[in-house]
């Protein structure tokens, strides 16, 4: 990771540590490093990788799913714009709608978006749905997970 960081200027070690922290340590080092490398190669920023990690944690807690599988689905679903991968996480991706919304928000023409802009459009739509669907499960939120946690830890 240090050699990669020197060659690219991307601090993979920091991204991996931040990704593991975003998932509450539920994503092991090996998987975090591997997935962060894939995400970086696909053009995602460190912050975007962290957002996907946080979203995977929320989805896995809310749906009772394995975190590694949830993160893999999010990453591959956004990278490849594959709605089937995201569907099991309760995310309904309509690529045309995502690109149209992104283009409108940025004063662009949807049919002329670059591949990078299309990926960003999909990323923004997925993270929007993650927040809408699972924000009640965030630490410190007044949602069910927080209430359950308080009940559990009071015994």
What is the tens place of the pLDDT at every residue in 51-77? Answer: 999 999 999 988 989 999 999 999 999
3-state SS, residue 33:
helix
Q: Is the model's pLDDT at 148 over the cut of 80?
A: no
Confirm if 135 and 145 have CB atoms less than 8 A apart. no
Q: Two tokens at 48? A: 């975007």
Q: Two tokens at 131? A: 């927040």
Q: Two tokens at 152? A: 């559990």
pLDDT of residue 85: 93
Confirm if 93 and 126 have CB atoms less than 8 A apart. yes
pLDDT of residue 151: 38
Sign of the dihedral defined by the CA atoms of residues 75, 56, 82, 93, in that order: negative
- What is the 8-class DSSP label of residue 9? S
pLDDT of residue 153: 33
Q: Is the model's pLDDT at 143 over the cut of 80?
A: no
Q: What is the pLDDT of residues 89-122, one digit of tens each?
A: 999 999 999 999 999 999 999 999 999 899 999 9
């Amino acid at each position: 990771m240090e050699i990669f960081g020197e060659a690219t200027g991307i601090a993979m070690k920091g991204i991996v540590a931040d990704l593991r922290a975003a998932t509450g340590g539920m994503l092991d080092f090996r998987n975090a490093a591997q997935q962060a490398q894939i995400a970086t190669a696909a053009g995602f920023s460190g912050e975007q990788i962290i957002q996907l990690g946080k979203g995977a944690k929320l989805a896995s807690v809310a749906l009772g799913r394995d975190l590694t599988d949830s993160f893999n689905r999010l990453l591959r679903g956004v990278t490849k714009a594959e709605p089937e991968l995201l569907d099991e996480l309760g995310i309904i991706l309509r690529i045309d709608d995502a690109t149209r919304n992104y283009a409108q928000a940025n004063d662009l023409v949807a049919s002329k978006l670059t591949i990078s802009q299309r990926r960003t459009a999909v990323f923004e739509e997925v993270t929007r749905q993650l927040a809408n669907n699972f924000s009640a499960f965030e630490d410190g939120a007044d949602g069910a997970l927080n209430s359950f946690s308080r009940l559990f830890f009071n015994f």
